[in-house]
Amino acid sequence: MRSKLDIKVSKPEQMELAYLTHFLHADKNGSAKYYSNPAKEYLQNLGEENILKDKDPDQLSFPIEWDVPFPPPEKPKFKFIDLFAGIGGFRLSLQNLGGKCVFTSEWNHFAQKTYEANFGEVPFGDITKIDEANIPDHEVLVAGFPCQPFSIAGVSKKNALGRKHGFLDETQGTLFFDVVRILKKKKPKAFLLENVKNLVSHDKGKTFIVIREALKELGYNIHYKVLDGKYYVPQHRERIIIVGFRRDIFGGKEEFQFPEREEIPFALEDILEEKVEEKYTLSDKLWKYLQDYAAKHKAKGNGFGFGMASMDGITRTLSARYYKDGSEILIPQERRNPRRLTPRECARLQGYPDSFLIPVSNNQGYRQFGNSVVVPLMQAVGANIIKELEKINAGNSTKSHSGCTGVANSIL
């Protein structure tokens, strides 16, 4: 079907493929209507290769056997949308909990390619061009909105270039407000947002106050905490997690708690591949450059330099710039120069299973995993959110069956 319907991500903003693949994933009790007309138009224009040319898209009911590693759940427990989706770390986390994704947005077409290969769905592109009214209803909104305007590295770079950062960033900084407008229109029961730790302290805390108050004004009770991915993968990765619940549904009395762990159950050696190609070993020239660079900054009293990882410990934070030289996480080798991680090891370092496909170049793979969320951490947070939704669902069902006023409020 993929081949016959010409589903191939090759450029940005392939909206027709987004509509078609979202329609093929859509259920018949709500989300299909948002995608059927553009999907029908695409099929009508496809020509003789169209294997569905004799069928009305609105009447399609045949079972699809998904040839992707992570197909949608057959009997979903809740619906969610995936904004600034990257390669699908949030989606994988919530699908593992029984959730069905009904809308996805990601502007980078290399990330779209990886997303489609693993989930069978092409994300919509630039979220600023998406009308919130055209997004299906859902129970949970998840978003890892762009962090560069608030990250320590991003702020330092922009300062050096004389550019603005935070909400004054002309492009990425304002994308948080696209999350706000979607929350305002669709009013999901809960949301889950993720960003860099520095978001809390950016601009002396003023940025986070704006974010928190904007979410409260929408009618949500807010929970936030900086969590470290090291309790789920062998990587030190601190991120601010923001969770919200609608006050008119939960009354501000939800019993949500962030997951807590005290022991680090993994070591770096647990995720390393047994055989690694020679190309991942640093050249003499690059290795000398990194050592000289570190020595120069050490002499100035700075902390800049490469990070030699310990096999029985955890790594530094994997970043999107890892493809450049791998300097933040180097793997020692006996009688040889150190090496960088392979893309598969980076995937494991973020908690992705080995069945997760990497259909892009190594450089793009490094960027994608460096920008990703820690999958098992997001799943742990998501599980506690879903527990609260299930309580509300069970409570409303009891009221309905006991003859009290009100309608059963199914999560679906």
Per residue in 268-315, pLDDT (tens digit) is 999 999 999 999 999 999 999 999 988 887 777 776 789 999 999 999
Residue that has been written with the tokens 């299906």 in this structure: 136
Residue 194 pairs in a beta bridge with 241
CB neighbours (10 Å) of residue 161? 8
Assigned fold of 268-370:
DNA Methylase; Chain A, domain 2 (3.90.120)
Q: Where are the domains of the chain?
A: 268-370
Whole-angstrom Cα distance, residue 100 to residue 342? Answer: 31
What letter represents residue 381's amino acid?
V
Q: How confident is the model at residue 6 (pLDDT cuts 50, 70, 90)?
A: confident
Question: Which residue type sits at 105?
Answer: S
Q: What pLDDT, on a 0 to 100 scale, did the predictor assign at position 96?
A: 98
Residue 283 exposed, middle or buried by CB count within 10 Å (0-12, 13-18, 19+): exposed
Query: What's the rounded Cα separation, in Å, for the pair 284 and 335?
Result: 13
The structure tokens listed for 351 are 């908690």
- Nearest CA to 349 out of 332, 325, 328, 333 is that of 328
Are the C-beta atoms of 145 and 176 separated by less than 8 Å? yes
Residues with catalytic annotation?
147
pLDDT recorded at residue 125: 93
* Per-residue pLDDT at 335 exceeds 60: yes
The pLDDT mean for the chain works out to 86
Whole-number pLDDT of residue 51: 61
